[in-house]
Amino acid sequence: MEGNNEILISLEVRSREEGNLYDKGDLSSLFFLTKDAVKAVEELALKLDVKVLPAINLNLYDSISGERRKEGEVFPRFEKIPALQKICDDYAFGKPEKKGEKLKPFGISLQECSDIAREVEEAAVHIRALVKDKGYRYRDIAVILPDPESYRDILFSKWKDLEIPFFLEEDIKLMDSPYGKVVRSALLVLEKGFLFDTVFRYLRAFPYRGAREEELVDRWENIAREKGLKGLPAFFFLTKTGGRRDRGEHS
């Protein structure tokens, strides 16, 4: 089947690499795979006798007008955060700052928090402001975590209360997932015969606990410790009555 279709392929490279699209460098190069893809596409085109037009560096040429961008012009993707272009294009690759050069920090701010919980709360405030006041959608926003394991439980707890929808992308095993932990802790409760520690480990395993649920579990734990509750009958009574005792002690 013949046709006159055109295929446009977009690849990301450093903005200054004009005419350097085919120099892959070694495996440690940040854009080795990108440039390897260029070679693979051209080899396939040659094999199929398909004409390949010259590559256009959209960092240097406007994609609509075709005109060359002016030196120092902010790229469209950085229009709202021009300082990020400077960071990505210069500082990340070790280019020294010019004497007297001042970087306008539009769109970038630094904030120090006392702990992870405070970080999560402040991020939530900023996200809600972007959605409510700036017209952003939640899917437009990304949060990068240095250690997802340390943030996971706090995120599920705090952002659930604030009704912030999110997806936490992690490379974890099934049994280490939030609901995998719920299943494992539930089985442990049965295996150990409703021992104190296993019961409350199970109750705290649920990732979507809100403030009200957290307060209830704390209250139950205090009552269970005070009365020395153990075994299925005692904990069954606790969940049904909320810890109020109108009859004899259970053990």
pLDDT given at position 127: 92
Q: What is the model's pLDDT at position 118?
A: 92
Position 246 confidence tier, pLDDT thresholds 50, 70, 90: very low
Q: Which residues contact 166 (CB under 8 A, 6 or more apart)?
A: 138, 143, 155, 159
Query: In this model, does residue 161 exceed pLDDT 50?
Result: yes
Sign of CA dihedral 39, 44, 48, 50: negative
Report helix, strand or coil for 208: coil
Q: CA distances (Å), 99 to each of 50, 84, 103, in order?
A: 49, 19, 12
Tell me the three state secondary structure of residue 38: helix
Task: Classify residue 67 by its DSSP letter.
Answer: P
Separation of alpha carbons 14 and 226, rounded Å: 64
Residue whose pair of structure tokens reads 């075709």 in the numeric block: 66
CA distance to 94, 96, 97, 103, per residue, from 100 (Å):
18, 12, 9, 10
pTM of the model: 0.42
**Separation between Cα atoms, residue 34 and residue 22, nearest integer Å:** 10
pLDDT of residue 70: 78
Contact at 8 Å (CB) between 203 and 220? yes
Considering only residues 192 and 104, tell me which one the structure prediction assigns the higher pLDDT: 192
Q: Residue 122 — pLDDT band, cuts 50, 70, 90? A: very high
> Tokens 């928090």 correspond to what residue?
113
**To the nearest whole number, what is the mean pLDDT of the chain?**
76
Which residue, among 53, 85, 93, has the nearest Cα to 69 in the 3D structure? Answer: 85
What is the reported pLDDT for 53? Answer: 81
Nearest alpha-carbon partner for 193 in 234, 227, 223: 234
Angle at 67 between CA 64 and CA 70, to 5 degrees: 120
Average confidence (pLDDT) over 180-204:
85
